[in-house]
A = this chain, B = another copy of it.
Amino acid sequence: MTLRHSPREGSARRIGGEIPDATIARLPVYQRVLAALAESHVAIVSSEEIAAASGVSSANVRRDLSHLGSQGTRGVGYHVFSLLAHVTQALGISSERPVVIVGAGHIGTALAAYQGLPSRGFRVVGVVDISVDRVGFPVTESTQMRVRPLTELEAIVREGSARIGVIATPGAAAQYVCDRLVQAGVRSILNFAPVTLAVPQDVEIRQVDLAVELQILAFHEQRRTVTIPECSA
């Protein structure tokens, strides 16, 4: 799932275009699709094609893109390169965003090893863990980055200017780690631990729980087998 924690940042107006949250959640997908098209030297694309490649309705794609004030050509479509630039710009990939990862288990390592991060504007400035079995060892085979001790968390955040943190620890440690991240100045947290975290209002949390995703699938699966699949009139 993806809990949205703060119902609506009581203050904090948006910039010009007033982009809805639902649109923002889709922009990265469009970006990926457009990047692939650009790679294939496709110059023009229609909302219908973007829709098909993103699993969204074409009307929704057009609405989303209109929020960026983006410029398609009527009767033709969108210019892939300029649209990609627009989307990328809206997502703010201009600068390199430092990210710190807490927990060098499977998920933490997966994220640290993920090839797609640099191209999306992220740089992992450190992976920390509490276990002596992991500290000092390379994060993955393909990197020379080493896992650092939890004690260095604050130093890593400070030196790397990280404002985004990832919690990939067991549930029991999550709130403690969260507090330390917030204390160190991290403002955005991606939490993989299966617990609800308490944070100050100005810190944003995104929750990803793998078991929850499976449970949602299972629910629909169950319903499908109980319900009559085709029910006309």
Contact = CB atoms under 8 A, between A and B. Distances in A.
A129 to B, nearest CB: 15
Interface in A97-117: 97, 99, 105-107, 109-111, 113-114, 116-117
A214 B110 contact: no
Given A196-B53, A206-B216, A218-B122, A1 B28 contact: yes
Contacts of A24: 216, 219-220
| Majority-rule SS of A interface residues | mixed
24 contacts: A1-B2, A1-B29, A3-B26, A5-B55, A11-B229, A14-B227, A15-B223, A15-B226, A24-B220, A28-B212, A28-B215, A29-B209, A29-B212, A31-B215, A55-B207, A97-B218, A110-B110, A111-B210, A117-B214, A121-B215, A164-B217, A166-B214, A188-B218, A188-B220
Contact of A92 (B2, B27, B222): B222
Contacts of A113: 106
Interface in A110-145: 110-111, 113-114, 116-117, 120-122
Contacts of A33: 196
A214 B120 contact: yes
Given A5-B55, A90-B219, A208-B208, 17 more contacts: A12-B223, A12-B224, A12-B227, A14-B227, A24-B216, A93-B218, A97-B221, A106-B107, A106-B113, A110-B110, A114-B211, A117-B211, A117-B214, A120-B214, A120-B215, A121-B215, A202-B229
A32 B106 contact: no
Contact of A210 (B110, B187, B216, B221): B110
A24 B187 CA distance: 29
Contacts of A189: 217
A78 to B, nearest CB: 18
Contacts of A109: 106
